[in-house]
Amino acid sequence: MADDLEDFESPGETEPPGNLEESPKKGAPPIRRDPVSTLNVGMLVYIGVNTLIGVPLTLAPAGLYDFVGVASDVASELNGLRWLGAMMLAWAVSAILILARPVGRAFFVTAGSLQLTLGAAAFVYSWSLGEELGDTWFQIVMTIILVGSAAVLWWARLKARNVLAGKVD
């Protein structure tokens, strides 16, 4: 039994898997993400959120509402909101243009950040009033998605402000 314990390696003594040359050394400053890649991550999150909500809202709004637990008679009345999905898809497509050329597009990134922030605020406000659209799981998931994606896009906007203004070092 004692021999078995001598051969045992603690997790701290083993090398982590992967490329060790690229990992930072102990005590070294952390690897920083450059502003363009931070902006790209923020825009990809923005594209994902708008597409995730926009596609089903445009193609099958009653099916989406039924999936999230809205009563079928209410869901059929909400079919007219198909245009909201189309607007969200248009925002997602325009965000792709930001990925291609971000210089001078700060207004769009700010507007997108506001879109997600106001959407998150509306969901939280709706919760505080006791209004419910669909099942509780949908309310929780959408609140987390909107709050998280708004935070990511604002962070990317602030980090990449010089890139958006054309002041690249």
Query: What is the per-residue DSSP string for 140-155?
Result: HHHHHHHHHHHHHHHH
Residues 4-11, mean pLDDT to the nearest whole number: 55
pTM of this structure: 0.76
Please say whether the dihedral angle defined by the alpha carbons of residues 19, 22, 26 and 32, taken in this order, is positive or negative.
Answer: negative
Here the contacts of 77-84 (C-beta below 8 Å, separation 24 or greater) are 81/57, 82/57, 82/58, 84/57
Secondary element (H or E) of residue 19: none
Task: Give the pLDDT band (50/70/90) at residue 134.
Answer: confident
Q: Which of 24, 91, 8 is nearest to 54 (CA)?
A: 91
Q: Which of 23-27, 144-148, 149-153, 157-161 has the lowest mean pLDDT?
A: 23-27
Q: How many CB atoms lie within 10 A of CB 27?
A: 5
